[in-house]
Amino acid sequence: MTDHDVYLQRQPDPHRRALGELRATIVSTAPDCVESMRRGVPAFLLDGQQLVSIGAAREHVSLYVMYGDTLARLADRLAGLDVSNTVVRFDPTRPIPIDVVTDIVRSRAVEIRNPTRDRDGAAGTSLRRTPRRGER
């Protein structure tokens, strides 16, 4: 039994079910991800970077998207949910639609694997400094 399994087993039924659905969706969307525990909650790493995490509180379940601008880009798809800059919280009896979770995970994977690409996949600004005139 993995740490993720233990975490899920400790949760009450509606939370456990919602977390299990999130986990299955994340793993099927990003099959290369690695399950880990970070800050006491299940985390999913892609290429050594945090893809997303999931967690439970007394009244809600959370999908943590700690980095990137995925949540801002998908704000219209998240209408009606409790969303901050880094987390989506929801009632475990009314989970986030699977297609929205899939879009969040795919977007984060693009942010991790193509950090200089914009949201449409076009080449963005490189992190390298542009040489000044006369420099090579």
Segment 9-29 shows an average pLDDT of 96
Residue 73 lies in a domain: yes
Residue 121 in any domain: the answer is: no
> Is 98 within a domain?
yes
> The CATH number of the domain where 9 resides is what?
3.90.1150.200
pLDDT band of residue 118 (cuts 50, 70, 90) is low
Residue 125 lies in a domain: no
Asked whether residue 117 carries a pLDDT value surpassing 60, the answer given is no
Give the whole-angstrom CA distance, residue 63 versus residue 43.
10
Q: Is residue 36 part of a domain?
A: yes
Q: Name the residue range of residue 25's domain.
A: 3-113
Q: What is the pLDDT of residues 27-56, one digit of tens each?
A: 999 999 999 999 889 999 999 999 999 999
Domain presence at residue 136: no
For Cα atoms 93, 52, 107, give the angle at the middle one, nearest 5 degrees: 100
Cα 2 to Cα 20: distance, rounded to the nearest angstrom: 13
Contact (CB, 8 A) for 95 and 18: yes
Question: Domain for residue 7, yes or no?
Answer: yes
Domain count, the chain: 1
**Cα 26 to Cα 52: distance, rounded to the nearest angstrom:** 8
Higher pLDDT among residues 114 and 136, named by residue: 114
**The residue to which tokens 């997303």 are assigned:** 52
Task: State the pTM of this model.
Answer: 0.82
Instruction: Answer whether 40's CB lies under 8 Å from 66's CB.
Output: no
34 within domain boundaries: yes
Residue range 70-92: mean pLDDT, rounded: 93
